A and B are shown apart, each in its own frame.
Chain A
Amino acid sequence: MSGLKREGDHVHRLEALRGATPQQPHDARAIAALAANPGCTRRALMDGAGIDKDAAARHLGFPAPFGQSPFAITRGNVFEALVKADGCAELLRMLRELLGLPVAEVSYHDVENVGAHLRHAHTRALIDRAASEGRDAGTLYDHPLLSMEIAGHTAYLEPDVVAFQLGGRFHIVEIKSFAVIDGQADPSAVAAAARQAAVYVLALRTLLEELGHDPAKVSHDVVLVCPENFANRPVATLVDVRRQLAVLRRQLTRMTTLDRLLEGLPDDLSFDLRPDDDGRPTRPVAELADALHRTTARYAPDCLSACDLCFFCRDEARQEGASDLLGRQVRDELGGVASVAEALGLADGTRDPAEGQEEIARLLRNAERLRRECLT
């Protein structure tokens, strides 16, 4: 079909955008983040081209405000180790309690026992064997390596554990170190975990399909394992990720329809960081900044917790005096009025409403009148 060709040269175009910069491999978190701000062309293009946004941001002098405390990292590793200790003894207990896993089902495969380069093939083989219900189908698969096609590139994904034989279905096991206290956990943390797990579910389903098995063998209920209350003792909860799966599918289809965005681009546009031998970007900052400015971003304060480029885009929004700075709600309230100066001009009456701005102008003037009346 003709789609193939278009597919082909837009992959080509994306590589041009990336230039000499090595492709930034997507991990589950990155894929899950695709849904964070789908309206943002700048981000869509950079993700599509596989540019390391974090590196770009740092090079531009706007390092992302994210960072993880060593304590958090250690805590995470320690907890995962605890859950997996002694042939996943803790995990088995929880699966037995939560999903009624039969006592006989304890077989454990550590996929990482094979060389790194073979992990994916080995995972494939083991999952295939399990799905075809062959003798000694395993129960727990530790450190499996799944894959997924993103915009013409293969992303490798590492779920914590895949559990099988809970009624003949595969369950993704996601181990997180945020606490579940009296049955509740930080909703945004759970949401993030659910989005990430959804990526694994989709990848595993795709794998089963390729192997000619029923993808429905992968449950949409993932097993979320967290520390309970203030103790170290792990507790498992089932999380239904059907919604996250739907969103993910949507975003992945969008990725393949980048053409629309690519067509609009000037041919000479490139996000290349021109890394030197030890990977340091050498491209003149002004030049890179200019290249980015030529693509439209859709900045919202929510980006501050989701996108590596947030400070760069916020700065841009400040330069433009865009009302986006104040948040989606304000922006929406102002109807068509995008700039701060414009809005205030309408409020003061120093600027005449353009076609279609009559109402917002009236509202703003009224608001201004009331504020003056109350403050003087």
Chain B
Amino acid sequence: MSLLTSLARLRALDEGIAQPVATVRHCHLSDRPMVFIPLKLSGESAAPLAAMLGTDRDRPRLLVVTQPRNRDLRFAWAAELAGVLLPYVESFLNDTETVERRNADPYERALDAPQIVVPNLTGVAFTRLLGRSTRFRRSDGPYPVPEAVPLLGRWLTYLGERAAYPGSSLVLAATEELGRHWASGQSSLEDANLAALLGWITTGPGDEAEDPLIWPPAGPATDPGFDAEVLAPAIESGSAERITEALRTQVEPTWRLMWQAVDLLAALPAGPSVTQRWEQDRGSFSGMAVHLAEGAPPQPRRDGAVTAAAKLARMERAQAAYDVQRAYDDPLVMAEYRLTGEAFAGEVAETVPDHTEGEGRSRKLRPLVVIKTDDPVRLPPGTSLGTPQRRGQGAELVEAGEGLVTVKITKGMGRGKVAAPGAVPEVGERVCYTSLTDDFQGSPALPEAEATPWTHGGPPHDYVPDDEDAQEEWS
């Protein structure tokens, strides 16, 4: 969090209403997102209690474990969940496009992909756990479960993993996305409360957001008071209706909040790079689908050495790209870099479009641009720069001082003797340059898993999910 965000929070606190920290939306928002609000039984790691979910705000599905103490019912519940989620996920597999790749076979990429929206990060974590607890199950053998359950497990595992991938929008945590676009007048810790955060963004703060009687927790954990006074007696009574109704009172308010969050995000125009990141999501999603179709085993309990390193590399790459793209898409994000002197913006005061360097054959066109700026520039001469106004273009800082910065354009101004029209900004145009650039070379290859070196424990015994996984009782 930068001083810019801190200032926004101060302002929010003072004015009693959240302040924007983004001018565009930085996540993809599906036309039919699947809102998913899971509840779990307190004191258990992944014992489901209920879930409200659906793509239609007017027709939520409520799935309840009508006797939470009964383990078989939990799997029945998982099967029900699969009955809703799998058709949704698979509905995106049919329409695909063919993608050509350099030195690799072309592949089929889904035109659209599923998007699961959960209330908060603990919701994401629970989704992952749910995946972990179901993906190793077998529909045959000693402790059989319905066919769909292990498949659901693999998808949930995949989605839960992907949620940790910077810039991915397959799974959104409402509080996180809202927090990325608005600064509330409370601490980031308190922002984890969906009702509270939405309160700040819409009507202003109020203590009722923290009153479980008015706004029940958005899950997966339920309110202890509710457990003691409502749920426990209901379970004692053994009445399925009563348990169902009790749980409905706990998820329904959150259901409304979730769609409110979706609307708020939808109201923002999408940043230019969002499509590109969603494209990667679609690719990843299609990849997973193929993986499953090929009958690959369920994801192992934990990553092997090579997998871990590969994931880390991808995630770091994605994080870096995500940061740069957000800054290029959004002046308010770029402002954070201007504040620290890694970027500057201002009016073009003067240009030398036909400036050249070198002599004879090595003579190169290097148009000069002088920018008048109020920003503190903390970049040494020679720093290579990029600019949101002309994304293809590369520039280099020549000198900076007295509110005037000279840069020379080094690439993306055309091949000719004179710069291509529009390549060099006009005097008076507002431009922004930054040392933040999105040119990363790929990371070098990793060994094959079976070639894992002795320093990392040598080749792993390839993983076969055993009955142990399948029969692990689910308490």
| Nearest CB in chain B to that of A331: its residue | B6
Answer yes or no: B56 CB below 8 A from chain A CBs: no
| Docked CA distance A341–B14 (Å) | 7
Contact indicator A229/B472 (Cβ below 8 Å): yes
The stretch that binds B, out of A46-54, A63-71, A125-133, A217-225, is: A63-71
Contact indicator A74/B13 (Cβ below 8 Å): no
Contact (A183, B302) CB under 8 Å given A70-B227, A375-B23: yes
Contact indicator B20/A375 (Cβ below 8 Å): yes
* Chain B nearest CB, measured from A329 CB (Å): 6
The stretch that binds B, out of A115-123, A145-153, A283-291, A319-327, is: A319-327
The stretch that binds A, out of B40-48, B86-94, B106-114, is: B40-48
* Interface of chain A residues 275 through 325 with chain B (CB within 8 A): 301-302, 304-305, 321, 323, 325
Contact indicator A344/B6 (Cβ below 8 Å): no
Contact (A304, B7) CB under 8 Å given A68-B224, A70-B228, A370-B339: no
By secondary structure, the A interface counts as helix
The stretch that binds B, out of A173-181, A193-201, A208-216, A350-358, is: A173-181
- Measured between beta carbons, the chain B residues less than 8 angstroms from A330 are 1, 6, 9-10, 187
Contact indicator A182/B302 (Cβ below 8 Å): yes
* Chain B nearest CB, measured from A234 CB (Å): 12
Contact indicator B187/A325 (Cβ below 8 Å): yes
By secondary structure, the B interface counts as helix
Instruction: Return the CB mask of A69-87 against B: 1 if under 8 Å, else 0.
Output: 1111111100000000000
Contact (A231, B475) CB under 8 Å given A183-B302, A367-B7, A371-B4: yes
* Chain B nearest CB, measured from A217 CB (Å): 35
- With beta carbons under 8 angstroms apart, the residue of B43, B232, B302, B332 that contacts A371 is B332
Contact indicator B20/A363 (Cβ below 8 Å): no
Contact indicator A71/B232 (Cβ below 8 Å): yes
| Docked CA distance A284–B223 (Å) | 31
Contact indicator A232/B475 (Cβ below 8 Å): yes
- Measured between beta carbons, the chain A residues less than 8 angstroms from B13 are 321, 325-326, 340
* Interface of chain B residues 375 through 416 with chain A (CB within 8 A): 375-376
Answer yes or no: B294 CB below 8 A from chain A CBs: no
Determine which residue in B187, B223, B475 has the highest number of CB atoms from chain A within 10 A of its CB, and name it. B187
| Nearest CB in chain B to that of A328: its residue | B187
Contact indicator B472/A231 (Cβ below 8 Å): yes
* Chain A nearest CB, measured from B170 CB (Å): 23
Contact indicator B331/A371 (Cβ below 8 Å): no
| Docked CA distance A371–B336 (Å) | 9
Answer yes or no: B104 CB below 8 A from chain A CBs: no
* Chain B nearest CB, measured from A349 CB (Å): 13
Contact indicator A344/B10 (Cβ below 8 Å): yes
| Docked CA distance A305–B193 (Å) | 13
Answer yes or no: B374 CB below 8 A from chain A CBs: yes
| Docked CA distance A369–B374 (Å) | 10
* Chain B nearest CB, measured from A280 CB (Å): 21
Answer yes or no: A368 CB below 8 A from chain B CBs: yes
- Measured between beta carbons, the chain A residues less than 8 angstroms from B42 are 69, 71-72, 75
| Docked CA distance A326–B18 (Å) | 13
Contact indicator A375/B473 (Cβ below 8 Å): no
- Measured between beta carbons, the chain A residues less than 8 angstroms from B10 are 323, 326, 330, 340, 343-344, 347
| Docked CA distance A248–B222 (Å) | 33
Contact (A71, B9) CB under 8 Å given A230-B46, A367-B3: no
| Nearest CB in chain A to that of B301: its residue | A182
Answer yes or no: A268 CB below 8 A from chain B CBs: no
Determine which residue in A72, A340, A374 has the highest number of CB atoms from chain B within 10 A of its CB, and name it. A374
| Docked CA distance A363–B374 (Å) | 13
| Docked CA distance A304–B190 (Å) | 9
Contact indicator B44/A333 (Cβ below 8 Å): no
| Docked CA distance A177–B45 (Å) | 9
- Measured between beta carbons, the chain A residues less than 8 angstroms from B43 are 69, 71-76, 177
Answer yes or no: B17 CB below 8 A from chain A CBs: no
Answer yes or no: A364 CB below 8 A from chain B CBs: yes
Contact indicator B132/A182 (Cβ below 8 Å): yes
Instruction: Return the CB mask of B1-39 against A: 1 if under 8 Å, else 0.
Output: 101101111110110000010010000000000000000
| Docked CA distance A333–B8 (Å) | 13
| Nearest CB in chain A to that of B330: its residue | A374
* Interface of chain B residues 355 through 369 with chain A (CB within 8 A): none
Contact (A230, B133) CB under 8 Å given A178-B45, A333-B3, A370-B339: yes
Answer yes or no: A227 CB below 8 A from chain B CBs: yes
- Measured between beta carbons, the chain A residues less than 8 angstroms from B442 are none
| Nearest CB in chain A to that of B129: its residue | A181
Answer yes or no: B445 CB below 8 A from chain A CBs: no
- Measured between beta carbons, the chain B residues less than 8 angstroms from A373 are 331, 335
| Docked CA distance A304–B191 (Å) | 13
| Docked CA distance A329–B472 (Å) | 43
Answer yes or no: A137 CB below 8 A from chain B CBs: no
Q: List 7 A-B contacts (CB under 8 A).
A: A304-B189, A327-B187, A340-B10, A340-B13, A344-B14, A370-B4, A370-B335
20 additional A-B residue pairs with CB within 8 Å, beyond A71-B227, A375-B332 = A69-B43, A69-B224, A72-B43, A181-B45, A181-B129, A182-B132, A230-B472, A231-B474, A301-B187, A301-B188, A304-B189, A325-B185, A330-B9, A330-B10, A333-B6, A340-B13, A341-B14, A344-B10, A344-B11, A363-B3
